[in-house]
Amino acid sequence: MNQEIQQNITNLYNLIDDLDNTKDLLEIRYWLLNSNLRDNNNYLIARFNIEKQRSVVTRYLTRLSEAVDDLEIYVHRCKQLILVESEKAPKFARTYDKYPKKNSGGKIQSVSPDNEPLVVS
């Protein structure tokens, strides 16, 4: 899950980097360079706000990326605690053994009390 989210965040970074090459911004840049709009304060403020908002979006994407990494750490920590608890308490282990997990092959996988995977077709 984490890799998919990080890939989407990377795609968003790339789209933001390519923003200058979009049709709208190419037109804005053309009029900025080839007209007297470069002397219009309202136009310059609007262009400045585009760049400012772009940096805000990039900053939030960076925070999101870091938060996703933290989330993955917490998920792994919880999984480890479940495995430790299943080793300590036989009743918990029996309940945990009944909980199905999907593995990458699409088969249902369960974990026995001795942490050996049991694959059910």
Give the residue extent of every domain in the chain: 2-88, 90-121
> Cα–Cα distance between 34 and 2 in angstroms, integer?
46
Phi/psi zone of residue 115: left (φ > 0), alpha (ψ -120 to 50 degrees), beta? Answer: left
> Model confidence over 66-108: pLDDT tens digits?
999 999 999 889 988 888 777 777 777 677 677 666 544 544 4
Give pLDDT, residue 120.
39
pTM given for the model? 0.59
Mean pLDDT of 101-121: 46
Give pLDDT, residue 49.
92
